């Protein structure tokens, strides 16, 4: 069945014992069936291409399994990020040595960096070219470091400092699958195949799947178990596979964290207030990031959590500035007229003709947003949430309180859900969302289960940025920061702020955290 997490395995034990072979063969079967079932020629072509890739990987691994020798060596695997035994593949078919990892079944090779005993990802192509391990590619700060912790979140940079020289600086690609959009093409970078063999099969099988089946399949592959039924959560179809479950504070989580943070030069965590209580982590959104807003948070947090230290997450500066520059004139136009997207202003008709690029209707706004600013910033928020969760999982704190405004609220919701996939990660005590740029049409079980206490959602029906621009960008979806979650889960609580909040950035000075 397409929604089965694991297949029934029948065949020679030597083949069945290779996880990568099984996963890629299972993915091939799913993609091939989806290609036959779909009525869309475009989707069918996508499924067929994916099926061919997974089939090729499975066939290559099957050939390797039959040529295994008695020669083996131990080392860190750049595919599954575990310290494991690697068995050499015999025969004259490869110019360079090829091994199979006993933990994940992937094809590996000895890292050519001087004095290095780690194993690199080999892939099924380019076996003639030596590959560097994840440490010497700077895909990960360090194999052993991936399992270390810091006492205070402010010391996060220690977890990101690379221990080895980057011998592959000319090729900046990741080793671990990071983000998958269910039903869409997979965009993943890796050392050889463009898809790590260990997790590639499971990720490929997610294409065409949705909801709990997609989540449980991805997390089960990485040893994280199944996520409680609840769909893909607030990430709106973005499934963070490599940061799930037991991998969150391990090598896979560290690789994803490193990739995300390395891609966002503005990322940083600033301690803005000391304290001995439960740490509070906050993040701003596209109309507040880049401004001096730390004092706003400290005032709000101090009133509710007087003994807690406060950490401000800086993120996505470049993307958020572009989005703010795009939205600012549209926001001004929205505030000028009572009918919003239908008629941005009744006055100034002549000016509208001369300045048609500023006086936009909702369809034009939609076209502009889709071209990049909004979707780029939204995706950045999801990635930042994953990176933050990975960092929180690597601290010695047992619990955190999360708070965010606008897209910063999205960051915190993703972080909470990601932490919720692991039984060993810190708990989220409470979460406060202000003017959250999160669609209201989701299944919120994952978010509800991820928070020990309550999810407080402060919203305003007067927020025209969310009412018009968010809805246009999200093809009609309404933001929870504009209408509330309206959830049946008892711990998800909507707090209406319409009487006091008239605009997207008006929460400061009026909101009082519950």
DSSP string across 325-341: HHHHHHHHHHHH-SBTT
CA angle 233, 234, 235 (to 5 degrees): 95
List of residues 6+ apart from 8 with CB closer than 8 A: none
Q: Which domains does the chain have, with CATH numbers?
A: 65-140 (no CATH), 264-318+373-496 (3.40.50.1820), 325-370 (no CATH)
The answer to whether 436 touches 459, Cβ cutoff 8 Å, is: yes
Q: Which residues pair with 455 in a beta bridge?
A: 431, 492
Strand 119-121 and strand 83-89: the pairing is unpaired
Q: Which residues pair with 100 in a beta bridge?
A: 87, 107
CA distance 338 to 432: 30
Count CB atoms within 10 A of the CB of residue 479.
26
Per-residue pLDDT of the chain (514 residues; tens, 9 = 90+): 555 556 777 778 888 888 888 878 887 888 888 888 888 888 788 888 878 888 888 898 999 999 999 999 999 998 888 899 999 998 766 667 899 999 888 889 999 999 999 999 887 765 566 789 989 988 888 998 888 899 999 999 998 888 899 887 754 433 333 333 222 222 222 222 233 443 444 443 433 333 333 333 343 333 222 222 233 344 433 344 333 444 566 666 677 677 777 778 888 899 999 999 999 999 988 655 444 555 678 888 999 999 999 999 998 876 666 666 665 555 444 444 444 433 333 333 333 333 333 333 444 444 454 445 677 778 788 878 878 888 999 999 999 999 999 989 999 998 898 888 777 889 999 999 999 988 887 778 888 989 999 999 999 999 888 887 777 777 777 889 999 999 999 999 999 999 999 888 888 888 999 9
* DSSP classification of residue 207: T
Using only the alpha carbons of the chain, give its radius of gyration: 24
Structure tokens at 276: 């001995």
Helix (H) or strand (E) holding 181: strand 179-181
Please give the model's pTM, rounded to 2 decimal places: 0.75
């Amino acid at each position: 069945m397409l929604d089965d997490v694991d297949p029934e395995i029948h065949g020679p034990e030597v083949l069945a014992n290779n996880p990568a072979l099984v996963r890629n063969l299972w993915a091939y079967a799913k993609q091939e069936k989806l290609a036959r079932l779909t009525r869309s020629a475009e989707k069918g072509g996508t499924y067929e291409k994916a099926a061919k890739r997974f089939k090729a990987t499975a066939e290559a691994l099957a050939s390797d399994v039959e040529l295994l020798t008695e020669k083996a060596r131990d080392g860190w695997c750049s595919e599954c990020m575990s310290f494991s035994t690697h068995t050499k593949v015999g025969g004259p078919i490869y110019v360079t040595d090829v091994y199979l990892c006993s933990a994940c079944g992937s094809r590996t090779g000895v890292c050519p960096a001087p004095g290095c005993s780690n194993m690199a990802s080999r892939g099924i192509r380019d076996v003639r070219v030596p590959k560097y391990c994840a440490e010497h590619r700077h895909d990960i700060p360090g194999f052993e470091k991936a399992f270390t912790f810091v006492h205070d979140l402010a010391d996060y940079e220690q977890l990101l400092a690379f221990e080895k020289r980057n011998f592959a600086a000319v090729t900046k690609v990741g080793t671990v699958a990071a983000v998958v959009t269910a039903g869409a093409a997979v965009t993943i970078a890796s050392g050889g195949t463009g898809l790590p063999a260990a997790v590639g099969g499971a990720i490929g099988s997610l294409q065409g799947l949705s909801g709990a089946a997609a989540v449980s399949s991805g997390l089960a592959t990485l040893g994280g178990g199944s996520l409680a039924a609840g769909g893909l959560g607030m990430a709106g179809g973005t499934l963070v596979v490599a940061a799930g479950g037991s991998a969150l504070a391990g090598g896979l989580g560290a690789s994803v964290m490193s990739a995300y943070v390395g891609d966002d030069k503005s990322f940083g965590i600033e301690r803005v207030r000391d304290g001995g209580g439960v740490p509070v982590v906050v993040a701003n959104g596209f109309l507040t990031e880049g401004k001096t807003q730390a004092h706003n948070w400290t005032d709000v947090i101090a009133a509710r959590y007087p003994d807690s230290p406060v950490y401000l997450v800086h993120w996505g500066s470049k993307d958020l500035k572009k989005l703010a520059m795009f939205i600012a004139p549209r926001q001004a136009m929205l505030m000028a007229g009572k009918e919003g997207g239908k008629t941005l202003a009744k006055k100034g008709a002549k000016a509208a003709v001369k300045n048609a690029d500023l006086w936009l209707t909702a369809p034009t706004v939609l076209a502009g947003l889709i071209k990049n600013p909004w979707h780029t910033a939204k995706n950045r928020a999801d990635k930042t949430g994953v990176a933050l969760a990975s960092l929180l999982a690597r601290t010695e704190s047992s619990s955190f309180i999360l708070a965010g405004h606008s897209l910063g609220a999205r960051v915190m919701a993703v972080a909470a859900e990601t932490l919720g996939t692991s039984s060993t990660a810190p708990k989220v005590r409470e979460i406060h969302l202000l003017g959250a740029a999160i669609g209201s049409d989701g299944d919120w079980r994952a978010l509800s289960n991820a928070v020990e206490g309550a999810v407080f959602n402060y919203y305003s029906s007067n927020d025209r940025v969310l009412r018009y621009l968010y809805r246009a960008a999200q093809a009609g979806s309404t933001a929870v920061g504009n209408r509330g979650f309206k959830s049946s889960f008892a711990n998800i609580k909507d707090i209406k702020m319409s009487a006091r909040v008239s605009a997207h950035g008006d929460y400061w000075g009026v909101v009082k955290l519950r």
